[in-house]
Structure formats: structure tokens, C-alpha cells
Amino acid sequence: MREKAITATVWSAVGLWGHQGVALLVFLLLAKLLKPEDFGLVALASVYIAFVGVFVEQGFLEAIIQRRNIAQEHLDTAFWTNLGLSLALTIACIVTAPLVGRFFGEPRLKEVITGLSAVFIIAGISGVPKALLRRGFLFRSLALASVVGTIAGGIAGIVMAWRGHGVWALVAYQLVTRGSESTLLWFFNEWRPHLSFSRSHFRELFRFGISVTGSRVLNFFNKHLADLVIGFFLGPVALGLYTVAFRLIRTIVTLFGGVISQVSLSIFAEKQDQKDSLRSAYYNLTRYVSLIAFPLFAGILVTAPVLVDVLFSEQWVEAIPIMRVLALIGIVHSLGYLDASVLIGCGRPQWRMCIDLLNVVGNLVGMLLVIRWGIVAVAWAYVIRGYLLSPIPFLAVVKLSGARISTYLRIVSPIAVSSVLVAAAAASIPLLLRSHPSVIVLTCQALSGILVYIVSIRLLFPALFREVIGQGLFTIRLVLKGIS
């Protein structure tokens, strides 16, 4: 199981990092070719699309992964249900697009939402194949489909932006990416649907999936409530600044927390009846997520001014304070992936739904209270809510796995201390290199941070250092074995 989990994690990292790396590069190029208003307009449309999209799979994907025994009837029923619902949602989205445009005072939203609505059909077609590949730990195929799809979409988006198509470059980027990935998922999957539908199997999937869907609806508001509030009260330009600032944070959270979460759901589902093994897996994954997430977000907090100067043009300078505030929530989000995977893997999606409801209420109240003070205040409300409510999902994990708070703190405390030293080292570099180009300053900040992190772990926490090195060498051997 250890080798299978590590191999799956490595390929999950290849897929997710490759996807996010290409997506980030495309994003940076598009940010130079397009205006903040273009990003704000697509962000508004994407909020609506994302909300409708949570109903496409109905939690059937997680149900397929979580179930110990899965029959052909489960898969056929899930596929035809998803496909039928995706077609209905596409039509509903096209019909309601003018209303959304009038609500936000942006008539152009009608065309953008209509164009993006095709993603529902793509999602409905590809849901079951993706679930089967994850259930079988076939993350190599998932990785290839994700990376190739993003490259294809990126090429389409950049070409359209370069030729002056504006907001439609962002629409094409999403559609081509999703379509290419879906095509490859089917190519790598041997399963094919039969023309059958079972009410009894639908009820089995639906009983589990309804809580997952409810949680997705609430999680949607957790992620996009700021977009709705800012877009409605402050307009697309302010939303564009917020979107760019948060995009980098979300990308990094997905790069590392998302890698673990894709594999952890399958791992926790296998160990749901083995409390000791479940707890041990949770501790180990928490350690590895923290080792990467803590220093990364500490570094972004310090390097944000130089980072924006290097990656973006001058029109994004106002995003710097937003990015610094949102960097504080990155750690909570990264570790939150694991908590959610434990709840779903142990068959407690309703617990997660209740936690997400608390987060939605907290976000809404906080943001409405501070919106008068602008987008930085909204970012602070989002961060404060995240830290105040973060103990709740952890206590749910404690209930299911028997994890101890003292053990958890012993795992993350050394990493937190070293991350503070990383931030201090990175913060000192601009003082020493005031007259140097931003690229050189950022490079020196990154190198000094990495060096301080390694040395501090080695000197202050030698046992942790030996464990990480040992696990790293074991992973390298597995990778070389897989390549050969």
C-alpha cells in the first residue's frame, strides 16, 4: 500500500503541477495581453458557471471512489444521470444568462455565460471515467490528460488573445482545455457505458452523493462569495484585481494540497475501518503538506511586492496588499484538503456539509460588514473567518481517527518555526539589494529562503530532517523503478 500510495502521489503531483504550471504560464501571458476588465468579466461569468456546475456530478464521483464494491449498474446509472443532467443544466444556463447579465449590470455576460455553458456537457461525459481512474490509482493517465488538455487550451487562448479577441480568449482557453482532457480520459479508460439505468443503484449513489453535492454548493460559496460581493458592490475592475491576487494563492494551494487530496481520498476510503492506520496516514500526510505549504505561503507574504513586479505589469500593483493578506489563508486551505478527504473517505459527507455551511455564514457576515472599506478589508474578513473556524473540521477528524491535538502540534510546530525563519531571511534581501532588478531580488529571496529552511530543519529538528530525507530517497527509487 505504501508503494502504491507514493506512486499515485508522484503521478498526481506530475499531473497537478504540470497542469497548474502550464495554467500559470498561460495566465501570466494572458494578463499581459488582456485588461483587468476582461478577467473581471470572465470571473463573474465563471462564478455562475461554477455554481451551476456543482450539480452535474451529484457527488457520484466520490461515491464511486468511496464504495468498497462497485457494479456495472452503478457506473451506467451514474453516467446517464450525469449526462442527462448536464444537458438540462446547459439549456437552463443559456436561458438564464440574460437575467444574470442584468443582475450584475453587465450585458456582455449573456454571451460569455452562453459560451462557457458547454463545460457542463464535457463534465457530464467525463465524470465516471475520471472516477474510475482515481479509484484504480491510475494517476499516470490522469496526469497526462490534465497536462495535455491545459497545453491545448493555453495555445488556443493565447492565439485568440494575441489576435485581439479579448474576453473570448479566456472562454476558448477553458473550453479547449476541458474538451481535450475529456477526450484523453476516455482514451485511457477501458470502461464503456451500457444502455441501462437502475433505480436501486441510483438510490445507493444518491444517498451518499446528496451530502457531497450539498457540501459542494456550500464550498462554492466559500470560494466565490468574495467574487459575488466584490462584483456586485465594487464592479469588475476591483474583482479583476482580487481575482489576480487570489489566483496565485489558489494555484499554490492546489499544487500541493490538491496533490495530496486526490490520493488521500482513495487512501482514507481504503482505511476507513482501520482506525490506527487511518490516524497514521493522516499524520504522515499532514507532515508532508505542512513541509511545503508553510514556507511557501510565508515566502509569498514577504515577497509579494517583488513577485507582482516580476510576474505582472504595473496595472496590477494594487493587487499586492490583497495578495499579502490572502497568503495567510493558504496554510489553512492546504491542510483543509486532508480534513475534507477524511470525512468523505469515512462516509461522513454530511459532516463536511455542516462545516461548509458554517464557513458560508461566516464569510457572508464578515464580507458584508467590511465591504464599505474595499477589497483589502474583504480579504481580511475571509482570512479571519478561516482561522476562527479551522478547529471544527480538525475536531471531526479527531472523532473519526482518534488523532490527538498534542501529536498534531508536534508535527506542525517545527515546520512553522522554520517557516518564520524563511520569511525573515526573504524579507532581508530587498534591504541588501535595493538597487538591483526585481528578478535578481526575487531569485535571491527564493534561494535564501530555501537555504535557511533546509539548514534550520537540519539543525533544530534533526529527526524530522532524517525522516524527510529517507522518504525522499524511497520516493526517488520508486520513480526510477517506474521509469525503467
Q: What is the pLDDT along the chain (484 residues), one digit of tens a residue?
A: 555 555 666 666 666 677 777 887 887 788 778 777 777 788 778 778 877 777 766 666 777 776 667 777 778 888 888 888 888 888 988 888 888 888 877 777 888 888 888 888 888 888 788 878 877 777 778 878 888 888 998 898 888 888 888 788 888 888 999 888 888 888 888 788 888 877 877 777 777 777 777 777 777 777 777 777 887 788 777 887 887 788 778 777 776 666 666 677 777 877 777 888 888 888 888 888 888 888 989 998 998 888 888 877 667 788 888 889 998 888 888 888 888 888 887 778 788 888 888 888 888 898 899 988 888 898 899 899 989 998 898 898 888 888 888 888 988 888 899 999 999 998 899 888 877 888 898 899 999 999 999 898 888 888 877 877 766 555 555 444 544 4
Of 173, 197, 221, which marks where a domain is finished? 197
- Evaluate whether 465 touches 458 at the Cβ level (below 8 Å): yes
Pseudo-torsion of CA 309, 314, 318, 322, nearest 10°? -30
Has residue 437 been placed in a domain?
Answer: yes
Reported for 270-277, long-range contacts at CB under 8 A and 24+ positions apart, including other chains, are: 270/1, 271/345, 272/345, 272/346, 272/347, 275/401, 275/402, 276/402
Has residue 408 been placed in a domain?
Answer: yes
Has residue 224 been placed in a domain?
Answer: no
| Residue 255 and residue 189 in one domain | no
| Residue 257 and residue 178 in one domain | no
| Residue 180 and residue 270 in one domain | no
Q: What domain count does the chain have? A: 2
| Residue 118 and residue 248 in one domain | no
| Residue 118 and residue 247 in one domain | no
Has residue 416 been placed in a domain?
Answer: yes
End-to-end CA distance of the chain: 21
| Residue 180 and residue 310 in one domain | no
> 229: which 3 cell numbers?
460581493
Has residue 229 been placed in a domain?
Answer: no
Of 166, 197, 228, which marks where a domain is finished? 197
| Residue 61 and residue 127 in one domain | yes
Has residue 212 been placed in a domain?
Answer: no
- C-alpha–C-alpha distance, residues 412 and 294, integer Å: 9
Has residue 429 been placed in a domain?
Answer: yes
Has residue 193 been placed in a domain?
Answer: yes
| Residue 434 and residue 352 in one domain | yes
Positive or negative, the CA dihedral 329, 332, 337, 341 is negative
| Residue 187 and residue 241 in one domain | no
Q: Would residue 374 be called left, alpha or beta, if left means φ above 0 and alpha means ψ between -120 and 50 degrees?
A: left
pLDDT of residue 483: 46
| Residue 338 and residue 454 in one domain | yes
Tell how far CA 334 is from the center of its chain. 9
| Residue 347 and residue 398 in one domain | yes
> pTM of the full predicted structure?
0.66
Least Cα distance to 342 among 396, 304, 303 occurs for 396
> 166: which 3 cell numbers?
479579448
pLDDT of residue 388: 92
- C-alpha–C-alpha distance, residues 89 and 83, integer Å: 10
Of 197, 224, 248, which marks where a domain is finished? 197
| Residue 360 and residue 442 in one domain | yes
Q: Which domain holds residue 96?
A: 1-197
